[in-house]
Chain A
Amino acid sequence: MDAVASTRVSGPDPSTALGAAFASRAEQLRGNVFDLFAEPTYFPELLDARSCVLIGGRGTGKTTVLRGLSYEGRASLALEPPASWPYYGSYIRINTARVTAFEGLDLPVEDWQRVFSHYLNLLLVESVLRFLVWFEARTGVPTLLPADCASIAATFGVSAAPPADAVGLKATLEATRTQLEIFVNNVVDKARPTLSMLGAPIDEVMTRLATNGSLAEKPFFFLLDEYENLSPHQQRVANTLVKHAGEFYAFKIGVKELGWRSRSTLNAQEQLQAPADYAQIDITERLRKPGAFSAFAKQICAARLEHVSNQIGVSHASPPVLLPALSEDAEAHMLGIADQAGAVRQAIAAADPSLDLAGFDALPALFQYLLGFWASGHGRSEAACYADYLAHPKRWETRYGNYKHALLYTLRTGRRGIRKYYSGFDAFVELAGTNLRFLMQLVEQALRDQLLRPNQNPETWLTEPISPEVQTRAARSIGQRNLVELEGLSLIGPRLTRLTVGLGRVFQLLASHPEGHTPEVTQFRLSESGTLIASQTEDLPDPRTMSLGDTHDVAGLMAEAITHLAILRMPGTKLAGSSTREDDYMVHPVFTPVFDFSYRRKRKMTLTGKQLLGLVSTPGTTIGEILRQTGREINDDVDVLPDQMQLFDSYLRSE
């Protein structure tokens, strides 16, 4: 330890610098959120003057991007003075604790919508006023004249003592908001306050600014984040604003996948439609394009590594150098294939001692193992398989290409310790599943574990390649952490964790027993096409009231699992019926190191909605049923849970 102390670099603590740079939530980045901002490829599309909806799971960068568009973000990023900016934006996070106040049995839905419309007017206009107060302080240029303020105040029903400027108007509206707060707290007793007409105050303030010198001709963006926090009734109110947004402003909306539950406006016959009303940017879809996520991820990781390196004054290598990959053959050796390949050789030699095994010995050990694996899966002898190889080498080369990754999951079935390595920047990119937050967590954990190794020299911490073992343990740790966090993300979090653990066990068992079966089954499709999670989400059941008793609940369970990234949804490869494309699903790859199965999107199996519900309520029985469906049986002596899954033992046995 003395050696470490003597070489310790001066300056900020490396661990603290790492945590500050790789914080995986925009909120945790503190002052770094804008310093570390990296423009995604779709960023220019957001600068268009029309409204835009950004769809993506948590951790895909919606918040960071929307904040980057805000006036606070621009102030941190831009060198030019605020008066010369081409646009202005105000970031508003939809706060669940606020918007749920406008629900309940004490008023009919239509009345709540009127009250909520008033609140939304206040929320948006107050956000504009906060910006104007900031702008005036920065530039010294007044933005609203007394006549403007009086006119805007009048749209809220305030006519007495009109305020003279933006600061005064802000104070006036705070008082109006307080009146609304009192009413909402006593909705049964209190007389309803004067309610503004949806959109009227926003149109008024924007029109006034557009005709006023200092901010004229500049578009204003309302940056609404976490739109999914609005109830469907409230989304209709907000959709109405988007549909009828005036010419001087637009909405840039961030929403989780399946979180936009109503696309209609207050006029039930009227829908928000892309591209007529808004531009839709599906972040996940964009990042799924070949190489897109990897390139963006590499850019962000490199920038953050550089930030850490500058902070603590040591040099750093690129992400792929720090996180080297393992070839299948190299990994097979690390997993101890020599003994198993040797056993195959012995079996062949025993069958025909005169056989020349020079050709066998020239094969990679994993190929040799394949011969034995194939023999046991197809009821043939090792010698017969080897003879077949000698006769049809091309066929076996193809087979090796198809199976060699899948074989890795079988080498240490039932043994203690690492059964499969998850190593390499590209592997981490795959584990992240186009999710930046997961990637940051994976890289940070690997670097942190590297830093904490005994006798690690801090000078070489960011240049020394991280071993496959350290990378694997880091990936496992992040998978476990997110599995635990899943419980706290959704209203039915515990059920999502159970579903993930159940599915994880199923795919783990499929991976460790591919003999005689299709290799690398990592995805599933639901058998009932009607159970589906199509883009139409208005009819999804409320997760709070789901009993998990019928197939209708499957839709709700899957929607929650997709929204909170327990499960990934991908467009299927095959059309069902005439026009409907069925979706494929897989357990989010970030969890695969916990369960030891492949993160690659390969082959799929079919599950029923009932089986999904069963994985939550009676996992032991249901896992057995699913395996029998694939022609496998669980053997408790062989199928011992991997070390990291021992925690789930009692749960997985419950029937």
Chain B
Amino acid sequence: MTTDIRDQPIFTQLVDDAAAFSLSAGAAFVSGRSHEARSQHVEDLRARTTGATFVDLTHQSDESFRWRPPGASEDTVVRLRSVAELTAFWNEVGGAGAYLDITGLTHPIWVPLVATAVAAGFPLKVVYVEPVKYRRNSISAGSELFDLSVGFGGVAPLPGFVSLSDPAEDEYYFVPLLGFEGRRLSYLVSEVAPGGGRTIPVVGVPGFQPEFVAFAYDGNRIPLLDSDAWQDVQFATANCPFSLFYTLEAVATKHSGSFLKIAPIGTKPHGLGAVLFALAHPEATELVYDHPLRMPGRTEGAARLLVYDVSALARLRGFNGAIT
């Protein structure tokens, strides 16, 4: 394995205009609606596509989701802490190959779906649509540029990623994948309580938009300064799960033998890279997530569409069976 991230393969198809994206006949496209405009692209895709199956995930919660199997008169409930039910879902939907659009899905839904598909060896491509911009903070108390969440559900494991390992303070590094909201980083630092000098933040560089990098630093400046972690910042392309995956590999190599507590609080593509890394290194990784309560209308517009061939990376690195 080469250690230079620039030499690693990127399994991403970038579509500048979401309207130019098409599905081949027989494909299955799994998605869910959110309050955000960018999740609406699915309706346009559905309207211009023939021969593909569209699966809508509804009633998203932290415990389950629902979907309507073709020809069924009632919804089927899939519980997220059931590998059997998740695997059955994939078997029914698209064992031969599927797209999972994570744009409108919450982390507790898409994370176990990706994990189960990869673990079971189903060919899976993940779709993500970038927003044009994020909602500015209109009634800020002065500390946050953006109003993206109204609070937290609190730290709790993502379904399928419960870890009961409790490494000592000097046995792990905390790796937050930074977004714009410093309060999320502050909250997680207070929950994880990493030892001094053991926080390695990752900033999305290049960002979706050039100015987003500055927003990330500005939003997180206080916890970065307080923890001195600004000195250890790593970078990975904001819309690339593979870059993040390789960056995490580099961190793990540098701190060989250490446990990584990764907080996917930045972009969804970074979250996807973290999930793939956790699947590849289950024994030494924990995903720490704060379950934000999303602000309605937190983003505007739909920019580029990206398709990630996560199965290709799983094959390349030979990981599967992360969830038992």
Contact = CB atoms under 8 A, between A and B. Distances in A.
Interface of A: 19, 23, 25, 27-30, 58, 93, 95-98, 100-101, 103-106, 119, 122-123, 177-178, 180-182, 184-189, 480-481, 483-485, 487-495, 497-498, 501, 543-544, 647-648, 650-651, 654
Given A487-B183, A501-B142, 7 more contacts: A27-B196, A28-B196, A100-B155, A104-B62, A106-B79, A650-B140, A654-B139
Contacts of B79: 106, 188
Nearest to B85: A188
15 contacts: A58-B190, A103-B156, A104-B63, A185-B83, A481-B222, A485-B226, A487-B183, A488-B183, A488-B188, A488-B223, A489-B186, A491-B152, A494-B144, A544-B152, A544-B154
Given A177-B164, A185-B81, A101 B196 contact: no
B256 interface: no
Contact of B194 (A27, A98, A119, A484): A27
Nearest to B170: A30
Contacts of A489: 186-187, 190
B185 interface: yes
B16 interface: no
B141 A494 contact: yes
A180 B143 contact: no
Given A100-B154, A484-B142, A30 B196 contact: yes
B186 A185 contact: no
A436 B228 CA distance: 21
A98 B166 contact: yes
Q: Report, nearest first, the 10 A-B pairs whose CB atoms are least far apart.
A: A488-B186, A647-B142, A188-B82, A488-B183, A487-B183, A484-B143, A100-B156, A488-B187, A497-B141, A101-B162
Interface in B151-185: 151-157, 159-166, 169, 182-185
A493 B151 contact: yes
Contact of B196 (A29, A100, A483, A543): A29
Contacts of B75: none
Contacts of A180: 164
A544 to B, nearest CB: 6
B141 A27 contact: no
B138 A650 contact: yes
A483 B192 CA distance: 21
A223 to B, nearest CB: 14
Nearest to B140: A651
A651 B144 CA distance: 12
Contacts, number: 165
Nearest to B144: A487
B141 A97 contact: no
B2 interface: no
B151 A494 contact: yes
B197 A491 contact: no
Nearest to A92: B166
Nearest to B187: A488
Interface centre among A96, A184, A480, A489 (most CB of B within 10 A): A96
Interface in B237-258: none
Given A491-B153, A650-B139, A185 B160 contact: yes
A179 B321 CA distance: 16
B168 to A, nearest CB: 8
Given A30-B195, A489-B187, A491-B153, A187 B81 contact: yes
Contacts of B190: 58, 488-489
A97 B157 contact: yes
A236 B166 CA distance: 23
Contacts of B223: 485, 488
Contacts of B324: 182, 185-186
Contacts of B144: 487, 494
Contact of A544 (B82, B151, B159): B151
B101 interface: no
Contacts of B81: 104, 106, 185-188
Contact of A97 (B139, B228, B286): B286
Contacts of B186: 484-485, 487-489
B194 to A, nearest CB: 7
Contacts of A184: 162, 164
Nearest to A649: B142
Nearest to A594: B142
Interface of B: 62-63, 79, 81-85, 138-144, 150-157, 159-166, 169, 182-197, 222-223, 226-228, 286, 288, 293, 323-324
B153 A483 contact: no
A484 B182 contact: yes
Contacts of A543: 151
A491 B151 contact: yes
Contacts of B196: 23, 27-30
Given A188-B79, A498-B141, A544-B151, A101 B85 contact: no
A481 B160 CA distance: 37
B195 A27 contact: yes
A122 B38 CA distance: 46
A491 B143 contact: no
Contacts of A651: 139-142
A178 to B, nearest CB: 8
Contacts of B82: 186-189
Contacts of A178: 164
A654 B226 CA distance: 31
A491 B226 CA distance: 21
Contacts of A123: 166
B155 A487 contact: no
B163 A181 contact: yes
B164 A119 contact: yes
A493 B187 contact: yes
A465 to B, nearest CB: 27
Nearest to B324: A182
Contacts of B161: 185
A98 B286 CA distance: 11
Given A186-B82, A188-B84, A106 B63 contact: yes
Given A27-B195, A188-B79, A105 B157 contact: no
B83 A97 contact: no
Contacts of A58: 190
Contacts of B140: 647, 650-651
A66 B228 CA distance: 25
Given A104-B63, A106-B63, A188-B79, A487 B193 contact: no
A495 B142 contact: no
A496 B96 CA distance: 50
A495 B84 contact: no
Nearest to B64: A105
Nearest to A103: B156
Given A487-B144, A487-B186, A98 B164 contact: yes
B152 to A, nearest CB: 5
A488 B157 contact: no
A100 B191 CA distance: 12
B162 to A, nearest CB: 4
B142 A648 contact: yes
A146 to B, nearest CB: 27
Nearest to B193: A27
Contact of A100 (B141, B157, B197, B286): B157
Given A483-B141, A648-B141, A493 B183 contact: yes
Contacts of B151: 490-495, 543-544
A595 B124 CA distance: 55
Contacts of A491: 151-154
Nearest to B191: A96
Nearest to A177: B164
Contacts of A177: 164-165
A497 B142 CA distance: 10
B191 A494 contact: no
Contacts of A96: 154-156, 191
Contacts of A101: 156-157, 162, 164
Given A186-B83, A497-B143, A488 B184 contact: yes
Nearest to B225: A481
Nearest to B159: A185
Contacts of A481: 222, 226
